[in-house]
Chain A
Amino acid sequence: MKKLLSTATAFALLAGAAHAEGKLSVYHWFEYIPQELVDKFTAETGIEVTIDTYDSNESMLAALKAGKLGQYDVAVPGDYMVEIMAKEGLLDSFAPADLPNFGNIAPEWVDVPFDPGRKSSIPYQWGSTAFSVNRDVYQGDINTLAMIFDPPAELQGKINVLDSQGEVLALGSIYLGIPQCSTDKEQLKALNDMLINAKQHWASFGSDTAKDVLVSGDAAAGMIYNGFSAKARAEGANVEYAYPKEGFVVWMDNVVLLKDAPNRDNALKFMNFLLDPENVAAVTNYAAYTSGVAGVEPFLDEAIKSSPENNPPADAPKGSFIQVCDQETQTLYDAIWTNLKK
């Protein structure tokens, strides 16, 4: 065993991960930050940025819990994941004074339910999750979740839903008008039955392909993120993004300060950098979502500013975040999802 350990140490030295001064290690989605912006940060501060990527909130959580914590300074989890990571003790906190630009955060995004008062996170980009309908196939009113859960004949068998438990169950609950973390037997049975009944009208589950199936015409309607739907439209699909009257899901990606960050000070500099309106506007222009920083408008591309996906109609309801349930309740929702896909 001793020999094994010393071999391991030798390997560790070989792999060499010394976090010297002037470095920053970012755990991020791939292609979710323009390289020019990272270069600008390096030019301004002299800090060398290393980016590692993940492909879903949950796989980031699993990797951090399996031992990657301590390698990265900042990560970019979604709203509910910020709350989960905080509960898991994976986040470090900072004082507003640590970030000179803290005051730039748009007021409505300071006291967010997943991180009240912004102790460990700052806003990155936000958007909504609902669905889009191909207007060549269906011309009626689409602003209801019934398009997905009780679809009209034209759309039956041509629907793609996201392959994501959180989003499907949250939208299902919103459609039925029940709370997201219900423990009521009747409500949960109703949700379970409604989903199983709706599934017969669905063609496929897919998150990565949510845009492509709409563009290719494989699906006539599909659950999708607003920015993704804007891209589908830009690629020529005659799709309209719906703001369902029952409500929809909003999400926000956030830059968090990780616990055991090897370069905590540089991480704070980076977060401060991303609270500068001009800098974060570059991300928005790149990713086509919406920033949570006040004063970005002058720096935004016209197409982004005016896109119907980013500007809900005046009568649209307020969206809701995916809620984080306690363990016992979550087990019930896990069972419903497994039951749906068995």
Chain B
Amino acid sequence: MAGLTPSGQGNGSGYRRIVAPLLLPTWLMIGIFLVLPVLLMAIYSFLTKEFRGGVIWDFTLASYDQFFLNRGLFGDEPPVIEWTYITIFWRSIWQAAVATLICLAIGFPTAWFIATRPPRSRAIWLFLITIPYWVNLLIRTVSLKFLIRDNGPLNEPLMALGLITDPLPLVNTNLAVQLGLFYSYLPFMVLPIYAAVERYNFALSEAAADLYASRWVTLWEIVLPVVKPGIIAGCILVFVPSLGAFLAPDLLGGAKTFMIGSLIDEQFRGSQGNWPFGAAAAMILMTLVLIVLMFYARAQAREGAR
């Protein structure tokens, strides 16, 4: 299998010598303008909250205590495990995972389809996928909500035709939340997969067909390993931002429950004004994502070393 997979890793063609200069812009930009601010936030998560936003420079574990331990509404009960925030995290992870799967299910065939068009029309297809995103997320989402509402253009014809008697309950459901995430991030699945599939050598499929492998066996056994980097990139680009997203899913899903993103947003931009707790929740989220990404990086490094 390894022989079939064109792995450009590790052999180098002079790039080994200039790794540092190549990475310097990345290190500088992200290092200065994101790592330093995020470190500041990491420190904030251990500070005392200033009422109505801001921090007081007294170190405390209060934010993490609030996240994990429940001491009752008045703080006078013996601590038990706090399920509130764990539930919110679990729900967001679940919604993001479902949205990623829906994106993959629709995005992969689309990317494949685009990659098998004649070269000249491929660019047009890529633009077609991204043009809708010239319209602001808020407007797109409000319009999508207009379409799927109970007496909207989707339900009314179906009811008029007698296909359904009651409107499909879409708005303000979990499905609508997932739809919102899916709709926010679809191109982020399609484009990386396209970039990978476009490179795929169809002679491999032909060879497999000559050996009487069925289409789907070929897809699973031969295509998938080759385009895997694209699929993984797409999944990261959909799943990770979905974890913190809340705008589109809240609009469609009715915002009846917090997502991770809206919980953290509430701490900074909402009336709770609890910066250290918002920072702590963000740190916990980032730690979770980092663990997953590190597993992926390790696996990739091992593959590269082979």
B257 touches A342 (CB 8 A): yes
Q: Cβ of B116 < 8 Å from any Cβ of A?
A: no
**Interface SS of chain A: helix, strand, loop or mixed?**
helix
Q: Is B269 a contact of A206 with CB atoms below 8 Å? A: no
Cα(A336)–Cα(B272), bound, Å = 11
B150, A341: Cβ atoms closer than 8 Å: no
A sample of 26 cross-chain residue pairs with beta-carbon separation below 8 angstroms, ordered by A number, consists of A58-B53, A58-B271, A62-B273, A65-B53, A65-B54, A88-B52, A164-B271, A165-B270, A165-B271, A166-B271, A203-B254, A204-B171, A205-B250, A206-B250, A206-B255, A212-B142, A216-B146, A217-B151, A218-B149, A332-B74, A335-B73, A337-B272, A338-B258, A338-B263, A342-B87, A342-B88
The answer to whether A59 and B269 touch across the interface, beta carbons within 8 angstroms, is: yes
Contacts of B73 in A (CB 8 A): 185, 188-189, 192, 332, 335-336
Task: Give residues 6-36 of A contacting B (CB, 8 Å).
Answer: none
A-B contact count (CB 8 A): 87
Q: Which of B52, B74, B255 contacts A61 (CB 8 A)?
A: B52
Contact, CB under 8 Å: A58 / B273: yes
Size bin of chain A's contact surface: 35 or more
User: Does B178 belong to the interface (CB within 8 Å)?
Assistant: no
Chain A minimum-CB-distance residue to B70: A335
* 0/1 interface trace, chain B 199-232, chain A, CB 8 Å (1 if under): 0000000000000000000000000000000000
Given known A-B contacts A165-B271, A332-B74, A342-B88, A62 and B53 have beta carbons under 8 A apart: yes
Within 8 A of A (CB), among B170-195: 171-172
Minimum distance in angstroms from B153 CB to a CB of chain A: 12
From B152, which residue of chain A is reached at the shortest CB distance?
Answer: A216
Q: Does B289 contact A (CB under 8 A)?
A: no
Q: Which residues of A contact B255 (CB under 8 A)?
A: 163, 204-206, 341
The contact string, 1 if C-beta is below 8 Å from chain A, for chain B 151-167, is: 10000000000000000
Q: CA of A84 to CA of B251 in the docked complex: distance in angstroms?
A: 29
- A327 close to chain B: CB less than 8 A: yes
B269 contacts A56, C-beta separation under 8 Å: yes
The answer on a CB contact under 8 Å between B257 and A61 is no
Point out which of B88, B142, B273 has the most chain A C-beta atoms below 10 A from its C-beta.
B273
- Return the chain A residue nearest B141 by Cβ: A209
Q: Return chain A residues, CB-CB under 8 Å to B88.
A: 342
